Amino acid sequence: MNDEKVDCSSEQADITPEQLFAEPEVDPVAEKRSKRIKDIFFALIYVGLSLLILTEGKSILVEPSLARLPKVSNPGSTIFFMGCLMLTLGAILGIIAAFQAGNPFKYFVGAKDSSFWTFFISKQFLFLFVLGLYIFALWEIIPYWASTFLFLVVGMLIFGSRSWLKIALTGVIGTAVMTFLFGTVAQVLLP
């Protein structure tokens, strides 16, 4: 047996169980910067996905069998428009996140924090994956209104909504509004 004495000075004796099991304090500035850096990664991947959508829409627009159709009736118009919208939103998100992160570029090269790797297990990455499935897979398998409803419901669940009434209302109303705006007002052929 070791006969070493344990130091029970007054500093150690004054620790309460709440202090012992309390969460460590996190620097709010560092936490905000880490979130903004994840937003930058999200924006970069979002812009990349939108560029893929833009090229797909452009190839459909100029396809010989569809080129003689009016641009409004050409299915490539919808895809090209969605790609432009996504590109704009991704760029805006990236710019805002870069300004709020301070100097984010020092994190891209030799960063010691794990923002890059934690992004790939985050809600943003999962949402991008679901968005890709929605555009590239679901539109081919099921009707537009059903795929849009499914996408909105899954998106609400990913970002933490737990009220089934809100999820259902968002899915139904969002699908109806998008179908009306694109299908009726813009007269775009929906997939």
pLDDT, residue 130, reads 86
Q: Distance (Å, rounded) from C-alpha 95 to C-alpha 46?
A: 13
| Cα-based angle 137, 142, 147 (whole degrees, multiple of 5) | 75
Alpha-carbon distance 46 to 105, whole Å?
18
* Domain residue ranges of the chain, discontinuous segments joined by +: 27-104+113-121, 123-191
Could you tell me the pLDDT band of residue 30, with boundaries at 50, 70 and 90?
A: low
Q: What is the pLDDT of residue 88?
A: 86
pLDDT of residue 173: 92
Q: Are 190 and 175 in contact (CB under 8 A)?
A: no
Q: What is the mean pLDDT of the chain?
A: 75
Distance CA 86, CA 49 (A): 8
Q: Which residue has the higher pLDDT, 29 or 161?
A: 161
Q: 């775009």: which residue's tokens?
A: 188
Query: What pLDDT does 172 receive?
Result: 93
Q: Which residue has the higher pLDDT, 113 or 18?
A: 18
Residue 115's pLDDT band (cuts 50, 70, 90)? low
Q: CA angle 173-176-182, nearest 5°?
A: 135
pLDDT in tens, 127-178: 888 888 887 788 888 888 899 999 999 988 888 888 899 889 989 998 999 8
Q: Which amino acid is at 127?
A: F
Neighbouring CB atoms inside 10 A of 40's CB total 23
The residue with greater pLDDT, 112 or 159, is 159
Using left for φ > 0, alpha for ψ between -120 and 50, and beta otherwise, residue 123 falls in alpha
Give the per-residue pLDDT at 107: 53
Note the pLDDT of residue 8: 54
pLDDT of residue 118: 58
How many CA atoms does the CB half-sphere of 191 hold within 13 Å?
A: 20
> What is the per-residue pLDDT for 176?
92
What pLDDT score was predicted for residue 77? 79
Pairwise CA distance, residues 140 & 191, whole Å:
7
Residue 45 corresponds to which amino acid?
Answer: I
